[in-house]
Structure formats: C-alpha cells, structure tokens
Amino acid sequence: MSYRIMIIDDEKIVGDMAKLSLEQEGYEVETFLSGAPALQRLREQKFDVVVTDLKMKGIDGLEVLRTVKELSPETKVIMITAFANLNVAIEAIKADVNDFFPKPVKIKELKESIKKALQK
Amino acid sequence: MGTFSEMVRSIFRKLEGRPGGFAKRLDLKEAFRLYKEVLESNNRALMVITDMGEKLGGDFIFDINYVRKAYADLSADIRGSIERFDLLTGGRHDAAGAFNRVDSLIRAMVYGTAPASGKLVVFYDDISWDMVRDVGGKNYHLSELRNMLGLKVPEAFALTGAAYDAYMEHNGIRQMLTAGDAADTEGGLETIREAVAAGEFPPGLDRAIGEAVATVARRAGGGGSLAVRSSAEEEDGDLSFAGQFMTVLNVPLEKEAVKEAYRKVVASLFAPGALQYQKQHGYAAGSLRMPVGCVLMVDARSSGVLYTADPVGGREESLLINAAWGLGSTVVDGRTDADLFIVGKKPALHLEEARIGEKQLMAVAAEGGGTKEVETPPEMRSKPSLSEEDALELASIALEIERYYKRPQDVEWARGADGGMSILQSRPLVAAAAPAGPAPGRDELKEALARYPVLMSNRGRVVQKGVAGGKVFVVKNAADLDHFPRGAVLVAKHDSPQYVRVMPYAAAIITDTGAPTSHMASICREFRVPAVVNAGVATQSLAHGQEITLSAEEDGSATVYAGLAEELLQVQAANSRSMEDLYEFRRKRYLMRYISPLNLINPLVDEFTAEKCRTMHDILRFIHEKAVQALVDASVHAEGHAAFKRLDLPIPAGIHVIDIGGGLVEGKGEKVSVEEVTSLPLRAIVKGMMHPGAWHTEPVSLGMRDFLSSMVRMQEPAQEQAGFAGNNIAVVSREYMNLTLRFGYHFNLVDCFCSERAGNNHVYFRFVGGATDITKRSRRIRLIEEILREYGFISTTKGDLIIARLSHVGRDEILDILEKSGRLIAFTRQLDAVLDSDSDVERFKRNFLEDKYELAD
C-alpha cells in the first residue's frame, strides 16, 4: 500500500511540482489550493503526510496544522513558507509540526523529510 | 625638450582640442574606482541570475514570491551598475534604455500582462526568441527549426496576435465578446462566427498581407500556394489544440485568397467543439488570441509523420515513420493504408522494418485551391513511398530536433519533388509512454557502470546537471567551432560565450577552467546542456574523437566514463521530461528567456551596442565590455599623475609607470626596478619581454621597398596612438595594467585586469603598424593572431591592425598568458622585416610556440 500525501498551497505551481516529484517516488498525492476544501477532504480520508503552505487566504497553515492534529494525531505535517519567521516557527513546533522549509524548497530535501517522517 | 610629463600634458591638450575630444575625461583613479564598482554589481547580478537558473531549473519548488524577490534584487544590481557605468562612460551608451526595454518585458511577465511587438506580419526568418507570444507556438517552433537548427522549412510568414486583435477590433467582434454572455449561447456564437467569417480587414492589415504574399511569391519564383493554419497554441506547445482549428490548404498566392482563408481559420476558434476544448483547459470564450501561419506548400512527392520514439510500445530505441504519396493529410487523418518504416537508433541509424501499405488514396492539390483525395495510380500503390536512404535522412533530422527540444517529437514532413526533405511541424510527442520496464535501480546502475572505465571523477564544478554521451570534440579556438559535429561533447581549456554557437547541438560541455557564474554557464543552463567547468585536466584526460558519457549530478559531483553508458542515458531519459511537462512550471520559468540567454557574444563586432541588448545578461556583458573600453581610454589619456617612474630594465623598452594604487613599492626616486613592481600583470608581461632570446638587439635590415615604405609612412599624419611617440607608459594597480608601447612604427596596447575572480578578468590586446610594406605587416598580424588564438584570444584584424580579447580566465592563467604575450611583443617587434613569405608565418609561429626565437632559418 502506498502512502497518501496531501499538498496545500495557494499557488498552483507548488502543488503541481510537488505532486509530480512525489508521485515519482510512488506516493499517492492530492493537491489543494486552499485550506477549507483540504480540511474537508481530511475528514473523509486519512493522509500520512500533509505538506502545507503557511500563509494562505482564509484558513492558514497553522490552522491546517492544528486541525490535522485534532483529526488525526499520527498524520505528519510539513510546513513550507516564503516568510520564515521565528514566532511562527515556535507556534508550529508547539503544534507538533514535523518539519519546516523556507521556499524555494529543494525537492530532494522535501522527499527526504517525508521519508523520515514516515519512518517515525 | 621638456620633461616627460609636460610633454604628455601638451599632447593631452591637443587631444582635448579635437572634435569629440576628451574634455570630460575622468581622473584615472576615479575611473578605476567606478570600474571596480561596475564589476562588483555586475557580479552580484550574475549571481542572482545563477541562483534563478538553479531555483527555476526543476530541482526546487518555487512560487511567484521567489521570482518577484529575485528579480527585484537583479534589477537593483543592474540599475546600480548602470549608474556607475554612466558616470564612467559619460553617458555615451544608452544602457539604461536597454534596461528599461527588457525590464518592462519581464515586469509584464512577473506581474501578469503579456508583451507584444505590435507587428502585424513577421516572416519566419525574422522571428526571434522573444516573439513566441506574438506569433504563437506553432509558428515560433517551426521558425526555430529553420533559424536555429538550419533545417529546411518552407518559406512562411506569421499573421500575429496583433493582427488578430486589429481584425477583431475593426469588425466590432471584441465588443461582442465582452458584451454579456454572447459567447455562451449557441445563437450568440453563431453571430460571432458569421461576423468573423464576413469581416473586413483594417487597411494596415490588408496592406501587410498583400506585401507578404507578394514577397513569398517572389521568393518562391512564381507558382506555389500556401497552407494557412492556426498558431493559437500555448507557447511551449504543450496544449497544441491539435486538430481543433481549421487549416486551409493550397491557398493561391493572392491577397484576397489569403484573406478568405484567414477568415475561415479565425472563425474556427469559435466553433462549438473548439470552444468546449478551450473551456476544458481554462480558457474562457474569446480569451484566446489566434496568430496564424501562412506556409508555402511543398510540392510533395510523399509526406507523412514521424515519431522519434514508439508511443505505444514505449520503445525508445526506434523511430517510426508513416508515409504516403502526395500530401500528408491522408496520413495524419489515417485515411489511407500508409507505409510504416521502423528505424533503429543503435548502433547507427538503420532500417529495421518496412511495412509497405496499400495506399489506395492520396491527397493532391486541387486546381484553383484546396486539396482533393484521389485514387493512387495502381503502379504506385505497393511501391514504398520513401527509399531507405530517405527514411534514414529523415530519421537523422528528427533526432536532431529531439536533441534540441530534449523531448521525443512528433514531426510532420514532406519530401519535395526535388528530393529535399522539408519539416512542416514538430511538437512534443505527448503520447509517449514510460520506457519499457522500469529504469534500472540504483544497485543495478552501479553494477552496470562498473563496466565503463572512469576517465575523470570529482573534478570541477557542475553548472548544469544531466547525463549525456557523445564523441569528444576538443575546441582550441573559435574557428574550430565551424567544424563542431552535432551531438558531440565540447571539451576546451576555457569556458567561452562563443560556444553559444554550437550550444543547440552540443551533447555536453567540459572545460578545464571557468566559473559557474560565467556567461557560458548560464547559457548551458538555458539550453540545459550538461556542463562541468573548472575540471582542470579535461583537455588532457579526454581524447579528441573518443566516445564518453558525462554524468553531472545534482550534488555537484561529475564523472566521465569511457564509452556510451546506455544505462545512465536511459535513467536520464526517464527523469528529464517531468517538470517540463507542467504548464505552470514552463510559464513561470519563461521569464528566464529575458534574463539569461546571451546574444551579444563578440565584443569586436559592430552589433555590440546597447540597442542590440535583448536580455539582462546581454546588458551585463555590454556594460562590462564598454567599461573596459572606458578604462582603457582613461588610462591611455592619463594626466595629472605626479608619480611617473622610469622602469629600469635590461632591455631598451623605455617604459614609464604611473601607479594608481598598489602597483609599485612606495618610494622616492625617478626609477624603479622590476623587483619594485607589485602590479601582477606588469610584472608578468615584463618578465615575458625579458625572456632569454625573445628580445633581439641586432638590427634587422630593411629591404628597399620597406625602406621606401617607412619613408612614406613617416609622412602620414599622427595616428591617435602616436600621441605617445617614443614613450611607453604603463598605468598600473596591483591587479590592473594598461600598457601603451611604441616600438619604431608600431603601436601596441595591452590592457589587463586580473583579480581572483575569473569572471572579472580580461586581456585586451591591440597592435598596429610597422615600418615594412603592408604585405609583411599583414603577415606579422597573422602571426600574432594565430599565436594569440592558441592562447584562447578571440580577435579581429584589418590590414596591419589586430584587436584581440580574452576574458573569464583565472588569475594564474592570465598571468601566464601575459608572460607569453610579453615574449610575443618582444619577439615580433622587428619581425615583419624578415617575413618574406607566407610560409615564414607558419615557421615562426611553430618556433615561437616551441620557445625558439632565432630569426634565421
């Protein structure tokens, strides 16, 4: 059985690129352009890893993170953001984020991070 | 005679009085400071370009914020550079104008509006890299095959997006489209279609079409007809709308006929099925513009389609060719039992299989326009519509196209009655399945690779990752590029932007020296040619003609294997297509076209002007070159420096040194010894001049003609360089030297900057004149040119003048070359007198390179 990964980012290119490179690794990948439909989907389907942008209109990355942990504490969350900010990082760590990447994200590193998260 | 400095001042005053003189010349120290600042900001800009190339290269997930921020940094650096540059050059070059032009194109892209040239008609020959939006993907790619790869593509012109806008505007259709939901109802659509099909042409467009048709008719030499078809295609050809829009074939070469065909093609944009397709891909009705292509029809004996890979079986090792008699439409539409040729790619192209079809039908041009299907004459039906030779020729052309686009291709072709093979279209082969079986795994790969001897490993800097195989072609000088075979691996001592000439056909590039921020490196990234620079020993370890495979890895390690490592190449093929398949990726990456390609390559030609700059990279290069020029000028005309010192040399070279900072050991006195010279370039060149044997002291005898010639030349008005008659001046700092030499009647200028950063470094070498007759002087120029080219200079000559340039070379190497140049200056000082025949040039060149300086045989 292959692992399920969800990507949430309000820019299409981020989801497209992540999906394409993660599918090459054999993961099943779904992408969302905003938090609301993503959380809706999470209520129907369990995902092993959620990769989410931090800054999005409406539901932001921190809220996604908290909701994911509520719905399914074993789901790992990786956060990516263009605006690295220490306070946000602390908040995210408190909420049990698995990893935190500034954009642009090196695909190879993202893959490694997911692999590690799945082994935990 | 007064003191030396008085004399220089008086000359300077004379020069100031000349029209276009040097009244506003900068103080040399100030010029040098500005020059260094220009270099610094240029370097920062080049680093941003490098970073953007890397981040947008497919290994990183990026978003528009990154693009915007990186571009903001880049433009700030370039603006800063231009500011200093304008001060340095007195605003003589319109670099800011060039910047604003390119900047507005990029901004339009970063912030979402499309630029356009405004031209209504563009001939394929005139379609440049920045016109893809104007002419549409199909026109653009076809013109690229003609202009970049030199393939046979029929005479053609594009009716641009601006022509489309003008037509729609003129007929009030734009208003219809924007008004309410006209395009959403079948009745509304019908009205729009009718309006398009019956539209009038605005006078400008009408005239432009008339002129274009007349030009094609003239070039076609009478007779012929056009294929008029849509080029409304996403710019990189992914969303091809294949078969969605109408194509009108065999349109007579008459203005009215072309206009009628244009109406039909444009109307097909609003056909119900086509609209549905556009909607599915996110285009609202009326949001797509339609450029149109008008291509001269090939008088085809046979035609068809070629796939550079087998789209069904997934076999990458063969090409498929479908062919039938006459025009290609029966093959494209699958309406005849066409011939199928399977061509194997390895070891060399060979015909694997030929299944000859029945070909009952063939398409031919109909009288008065259009095409018709007719029964194939019985005697032709089961005859192959392509010979084996033709099939192989076609296959080799198609592979070249595939190599250029780095993706399997779907090629439409036609073989003319004259036997020539024309390419009518090439687009990515979208149906290509994954290669048969998975690519070899890591362990298997390791095992397989163990069979290939390693020629080089972990040397140099990877500037573009990738795997590529081919025969080594060692490039020693620019002229070698004329013979560069397609698909070869370019190996050279230095990296050079000159290589852009062969970049579309090079499998890979490996150089001994070079930097990842060099011009060449960014061009490699643009063309995605795997490349390694600064590999040190490539020209020694890799033999000309040898087959190799380069594996340049993401982690920066590079390995060169002997032979073609098929296993590696296969992995590369499986991985390379991925990101390119994403529309969003290509769209975002697109702005790099206005940033990283380099069009200004040779600073020694007339086109090296601000107006010719089309990318940010061009602007940086232009600024650098002209800044060097400004510095040379400022040095040549240096004035007001108290500290002239005579360089004490064992040879009578009579050099005076002006130190602008760190070029001499500080001290009083009018003389300095060689040991007191701390300027690296001056030390190097003087060392060369003093090289044992290079400086001949015995007088050479002038023949009668030479003597007369020298008498005549003495009467000539002073040249610019003659201002320093009898006095040789070196303006120096620790890393810089501008040396003006006059020996007898020849004048020599060497300008050099040699810092730790190879990208900043240059040598500029100018030599003119001599006492002998022009034949001998020209021979000497040829000798100098050939030797300088051995050292990697590019040069231009005219009569007894040579200007040669070398740049982007590391400090140690520059100093070595300067030392050799010093020897060359010393050696050739009086050499023209003994260059009695052309064969002497070759002999002295050989001797010089072997460190032999005898004048006699």
Which residue in this structure is represented by tokens 């009038």?
A: B200
Task: Categorize the per-residue pLDDT at B849 as very low, low, confident or very high, splitting at 50, 70 and 90.
Answer: very high
**The pLDDT of residue B713:** 45
The distance of Cα B476 from the centroid of its chain, to the nearest Å, equals 19
Helix (H) / strand (E) element for B77: namely helix B64-89
- Helices B811-828 and B774-790, packing angle to 10 deg: 160
A77 - beta bridge partners? A50
Sequence-distant (6+) residues with CB within 8 A of B212 are B121, B123, B157, B294
Task: Categorize the per-residue pLDDT at B1 as very low, low, confident or very high, splitting at 50, 70 and 90.
Answer: very low
**The pLDDT of residue A89:** 79
Helix (H, G, I), strand (E, B) or coil at B303: strand
Interface check for A78 against chain B (CB to CB < 8 A): the answer is: no
**The pLDDT of residue B544:** 93
Nearest C-alpha neighbor of B93 from the set B593, B633, B798 = B633
Complex prediction ipTM? 0.94
Helix (H, G, I), strand (E, B) or coil at B552: strand
Task: Return the residue of A nearest to B65 by Cα.
Answer: A82
| B473-526 pLDDT per residue, tens | 999 888 888 888 888 999 998 888 778 778 877 899 999 887 777 777 877 776
B159 - beta bridge partners? B121, B292
Sequence-distant (6+) residues with CB within 8 A of B270 are B183, B189, B192, B193, B196, B285
pTM of the predicted model, to two decimals? 0.60
Share of chain B above pLDDT 90, in %: 31
Instruction: Kindly report the backbone phi and psi dihedral angles of residue B667, in degrees, each rounded to the nearest multiple of 5, phi listed first.
Output: 170, 165
Interface check for A18 against chain B (CB to CB < 8 A): the answer is: yes
Structure tokens at B530: 């795997």
| B268-295 pLDDT per residue, tens | 888 877 776 676 555 667 778 899 999 9
Interface check for A77 against chain B (CB to CB < 8 A): the answer is: no
CA distance B492 to A37: 55
**The pLDDT of residue B727:** 64
Nearest C-alpha neighbor of B15 from the set B631, B633, B730 = B633
CA distance B750 to B767: 9
A12 → closest Cβ in B55, B581, B584: B584
**The pLDDT of residue B4:** 47
Among B361-365, B367-371, B435-439, B759-763, where is mean pLDDT lowest?
B435-439
CA distance B534 to B463: 10
Among A105-114, B68-77, B610-619, B706-715, where is mean pLDDT lowest?
B706-715
CA distance A110 to A52: 12
CA distances for B571 relative to B441, B442, B453, B458, B551, angstroms: 9, 10, 19, 20, 11
Interface check for A29 against chain B (CB to CB < 8 A): the answer is: no
User: What is the b/e burial string over B835-844, where b = at least 16 CB atoms within 10 angstroms of the residue's CB?
Assistant: beeeebbeeb
Please list every residue in chain A whose beta carbon sits closer than 8 Å to the beta carbon of residue B584.
Answer: 12-13, 16-17
What mean pLDDT is predicted for residues B322-328? 88
| B729-762 pLDDT per residue, tens | 788 999 999 888 887 777 888 999 999 988 889 9
Contact between B314 and B436 under an 8 Å Cβ cutoff? The reply is: yes
**The pLDDT of residue B809:** 87
Q: Please determine, for residue B169, whether its predicted confidence score (pLDDT) is greater than 80.
A: yes
| B832-846 pLDDT per residue, tens | 888 888 888 999 999
Please enumerate residues of B whose Cβ is less than 8 A from a Cβ of A.
55, 59-66, 554, 575, 578-579, 581-582, 584-585, 588
**The pLDDT of residue B438:** 43
What mean pLDDT is predicted for residues B457-467? 84
B55 → closest Cβ in A13, A82, A104: A104
Mutation target to probe the B interface, by most B beta carbons within 10 A, among A17, A81, A110 is A17
What mean pLDDT is predicted for residues B556-571? 83
Min Cα separation B55/chain A (Å): 7
**The pLDDT of residue B726:** 44
CA distance B56 to B53: 5
First to last CA, chain A: 17
Interface check for A59 against chain B (CB to CB < 8 A): the answer is: no
Sequence-distant (6+) residues with CB within 8 A of B50 are B516, B517, B521, B522
Question: Three-state SS across B771-819?
Answer: CCCHHHHHHHHHHHHHHHHHCCCEEEEECCEEEEEEECCCHHHHHHHHH
Q: Please determine, for residue B723, whether its predicted confidence score (pLDDT) is greater than 50.
A: no
Task: Categorize the per-residue pLDDT at B628 as very low, low, confident or very high, splitting at 50, 70 and 90.
Answer: confident
A13 → closest Cβ in B59, B575, B588: B588
Q: Please determine, for residue B435, whether its predicted confidence score (pLDDT) is greater than 80.
A: no
Count how many Cα atoms sit within 13 Å of the Cα of residue B30 in the half-sphere of its side chain: 12
Q: Please determine, for residue B770, whether its predicted confidence score (pLDDT) is greater than 80.
A: no
Share of chain B above pLDDT 70, in %: 83
Q: Cβ of B658: how many Cβ atoms within 10 Å?
A: 23
Nearest C-alpha neighbor of B162 from the set B112, B219, B121, B109 = B121
CA distances for B625 relative to B42, B756, B831, angstroms: 12, 19, 31
Min Cα separation A39/chain B (Å): 22
Interface check for A69 against chain B (CB to CB < 8 A): the answer is: no
Contact between B35 and B631 under an 8 Å Cβ cutoff? The reply is: yes
Min Cα separation A53/chain B (Å): 11
**The pLDDT of residue B718:** 35
**The pLDDT of residue B309:** 82
**The pLDDT of residue B619:** 94
CA distance B760 to B807: 8
Task: Return the residue of A nearest to B60 by Cα.
Answer: A106
Mutation target to probe the B interface, by most B beta carbons within 10 A, among A13, A24, A81, A109 is A13
**The pLDDT of residue A77:** 95
What mean pLDDT is predicted for residues B582-592? 75
Structure tokens at B504: 């579309």
DSSP at B326: B
Task: Return the residue of B nearest to A55 by Cα.
Answer: B65
A4 - beta bridge partners? A28
CA distance A72 to A78: 14
| A46-71 pLDDT per residue, tens | 999 999 999 888 889 999 999 999 99
